[in-house]
Structures are given as C-alpha cells and as structure tokens.
C-alpha cells in the first residue's frame, strides 16, 4: 500500500506539472514563403517572427506565459498554404496564425480561418484581404490602395497626368491594377496603357516597347521580385527615359541588388523602415524602427526590411492582445479589433470593427534609389 500510495502521488504530480506546462504555453502559428519565388518575403518574415518571440520569452513571456511559434514553409503555394493552415488549427491547436506572405495565399486561407474561428494576421498587402472586413482576418502590410494614392499624389503635384501601368498577373498585381485604374480619375490621371506580365516571365521588352510608343509621362510597375527588377533592366536597355515607379512590393535592398544600376532613380512608396536612420526625431515610429533594424542586424547580419517588419508587427499585435488578458482565439480576435495607437514597423495601427487593416496613408513615405540606397523624396 505504501508503494502504491507513493506511485499515485508521483503520478499526480507529474500530471499536474504537465498540465501547468501546457497551460503556460500559448501556441501561435506562422505561414511564410521561406522558399520559392516569394522567399524574399518569407525569409525575413520568418526570421523576424522568431526573433521577436525569442525576445518576448527571454523577458519572461506574456503575463508569465511563454509563446510557442509553430512555423511552416508554404513555398508561396496557395494550395499548400491551405493544407498547412488546417494542420496548424487541427493538429497544432494554435490560437492565432501569422501570414501568409502573399496575397494569393492569404485569400486562399481566409475561408479556413473564418470557418474555424481562428484569428489570422496576414503579412500581405492586397486590399481585398480586409475589404470588405472579415471577422477573423487582420493584416499588417500597408494596403495597396494607400500605396497607389501615394504615387498618384506625387504625380498630381508634378503635373504628370498620363501613366502606363504594367502589373504582374497574380493576386498582388491584380489588386494593384484594380487600384491604379479605379483611383486614376480622382487625381486627374489617365491610364494610356494597361498591360500585364506573368510571374515567371523573364523579358518584358514587348510590353515596354508598346509603352515607349505612347504619350505616357510615367510608368508604374506593380509586382514583387524578380519581375520588377527585370522591368527596370529592360527599361534601361530600351533607352526609355520616362520616369519609372514601382510598388511597395519591392521595398527592400533585394530589389536594388537584383536591378543593379538600373534601379537608380526609381521611386516607390515604402514603409519607413528602409529610411529609419534619416527620419526626423519627432517621428513616433522611429524608436521601434531603429530597434528592429539593430536587432535584425545583430541576429542575422543583414538589414531588417519592410517585409520582416510585417511579421514583427503581427507578433507584437498578438502579444499585446494576450497582455490585455486574451488567451483564446475569440478573445485574441476581440482584443486585436480594439488595438489603438500601436506604433509598429509598418505604421501606427488603429483597428476597429470597420477596419482590420488599421493603417493610414502616413504609413508610407515615397523613396527613391540613389547610389544604391534609399532616400526620402521631399
């Protein structure tokens, strides 16, 4: 009887310890395109998410509870993203999901999280992700509608009223194309040429030759690497002198690396992280931006960028929701929706029941490539 009693006591203690450990860990899922064509997005996102979760845990977690990040590589494939989102929910029992990296993947995953009632904080830019509002879906990447507005404001001030658009034929490109066309009239702009290219195309001289023959005053390319870098090179090869604008989809040093000398003079809307060191001291994001850049450099010996910032923001938004007492999926969703004035990497976030994107046009600055670096366009 004595040994049996001891056995039962030890078993009970082990069971209690297991339950305490389980209760002390909050699982967050992450879907990033770490490999494949969108790896320039997914790799810094994965790195940033791991970095900030590790830092949170080293500091004692959130309300004494550790965060556990479960990361899967989607390789940029929408079908795979759906399968892995289901795995995170059904097998890993996560209370929230960060990502995916691309608009197409996110749109594919939305029905899953809406059906399963799991909050998703996407790192993708497409306006359709949160417009119209979906109950369980939020995003950290700045809307392409805001990016288009930033370019058009500049063109309007510069009295450039005729533009040609060249967009990639994927979810991100389609969303940008829709915004470029729908907002043009508001700024007194006429789209004189509207063409597309495929995500795997390696030469856009045919489309650009057509544009060269028009009366366009500006060319706007909307896509993610490597396509826009090829467009930049083709523009230079064809001797086209028309100003070239890109989307925020290439807002990282990777674009400059890929485009080389052809990147010089190109303008695009960007989150502030790429110019954090030259922002005025009064900018309320500057402290967070500089800390992020420094931490990323320390951990990965590379510059923290616009894309990694989306994941940093997503983790911190969920962390803040948990700090306000939420530890279940419904409670985290509700607290995310109540987020106000969070100065993150992508901007100052203010979510509401009517707005799950949370950012205004001040989240963007217009930047220009000069001497293989980013400068703010005044």
**Residue 6 confidence (pLDDT) above 60:** no
Q: Are 234 and 258 in contact (CB under 8 A)?
A: no
Residue 96's φ and ψ, nearest 5 degrees, are -165, 160
> May I ask the CATH class of domain 7-142+287-362?
alpha beta
Residue 337: the pLDDT is 98
Least confident of 28-32, 217-221, 357-361: 357-361
Could you check whether 7-142+287-362 and 145-270 share the same CATH topology? yes
Alpha helices (H) along the chain:
2-23, 39-58, 78-90, 103-116, 144-157, 171-183, 205-212, 227-237, 253-259, 286-300, 306-323, 329-337
166 has which bridge partners? 195, 221
Whose structure tokens read 């929408």?
78
**Residue 34 confidence (pLDDT) above 70:** yes
What is the total residue count of the chain?
A: 378
Distance CA 49, CA 42 (A): 10
Q: Are 204 and 229 in contact (CB under 8 A)?
A: no
**Residue 11 confidence (pLDDT) above 70:** no
Residue 289: the pLDDT is 95
Under the banding of pLDDT at 50, 70 and 90, the label for residue 22 is very low
Under the banding of pLDDT at 50, 70 and 90, the label for residue 9 is very low
**Residue 138 confidence (pLDDT) above 70:** yes
User: pLDDT by residue (tens digit) across 51-80?
Assistant: 999 999 999 999 999 999 999 999 999 999
Distance CA 224, CA 265 (A): 18
Distance CA 53, CA 47 (A): 10
Residue 272 to residues 22, 194, 275, 297, 307: CA-CA distances in angstroms? 39, 29, 6, 17, 11
Under the banding of pLDDT at 50, 70 and 90, the label for residue 23 is low
Where are the domains positioned within the chain? 7-142+287-362, 145-270
What CATH number does the domain located at 145-270 have? 3.40.50.2300
Distance CA 193, CA 207 (A): 9
Q: Whole-model pTM?
A: 0.85
Under the banding of pLDDT at 50, 70 and 90, the label for residue 378 is confident
Report the alpha-carbon angle 319-323-325, nearest 5: 125
Under the banding of pLDDT at 50, 70 and 90, the label for residue 24 is confident
């Amino acid at each position: 009887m004595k040994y049996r009693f001891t056995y039962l006591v030890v078993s009970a203690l082990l069971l209690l310890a297991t339950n305490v450990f389980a209760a002390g860990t909050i699982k967050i899922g992450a879907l990033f395109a770490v490999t494949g064509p969108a790896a320039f997005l997914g790799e810094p996102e994965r790195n940033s998410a791991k970095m900030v979760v590790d830092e949170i845990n080293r500091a004692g977690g959130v309300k004494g509870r550790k965060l556990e990040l479960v990361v899967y590589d989607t390789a940029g494939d929408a079908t795979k993203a759906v399968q892995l989102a289901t795995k995170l929910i059904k097998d890993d029992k996560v209370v929230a999901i960060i990502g995916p990296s691309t608009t197409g993947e996110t749109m594919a995953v939305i029905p899953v999280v809406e059906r399963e009632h799991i909050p998703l904080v996407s790192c993708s830019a497409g306006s359709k992700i949160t417009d119209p509002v979906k109950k369980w879906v939020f995003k950290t990447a700045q809307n392409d509608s805001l990016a288009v507005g930033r370019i058009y404001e500049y063109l309007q001030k510069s009295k450039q009223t005729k533009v040609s658009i060249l967009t990639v034929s994927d979810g991100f490109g389609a969303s940008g194309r829709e915004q470029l066309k729908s907002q043009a009239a508001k700024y007194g702009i006429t789209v004189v040429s509207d063409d597309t290219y495929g995500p795997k195309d390696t030469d856009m001289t045919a489309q650009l030759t057509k544009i060269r023959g028009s009366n366009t005053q500006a060319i706007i390319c909307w896509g993610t690497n490597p396509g826009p870098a090829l467009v930049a090179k083709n523009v230079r090869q064809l001797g086209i002198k028309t100003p070239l604008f890109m989307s925020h989809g290439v807002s990282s040093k990777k674009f400059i690396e890929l485009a080389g000398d052809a990147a010089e003079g190109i303008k695009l809307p960007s989150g502030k992280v790429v110019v954090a060191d030259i922002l005025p001291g009064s900018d309320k994001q500057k402290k967070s931006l500089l800390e992020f850049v420094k931490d990323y450099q320390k951990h990965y010996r590379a510059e923290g960028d616009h894309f990694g910032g989306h994941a940093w923001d997503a983790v911190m938004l969920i962390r803040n929701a948990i700090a306000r007492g939420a530890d279940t999926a419904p409670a985290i969703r509700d607290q995310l929706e109540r987020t106000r004035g969070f100065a993150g990497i992508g901007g100052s976030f203010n979510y509401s029941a009517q707005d799950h994107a949370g950012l205004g046009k001040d989240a963007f600055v217009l930047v220009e490539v000069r001497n293989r670096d980013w400068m703010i366009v005044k």
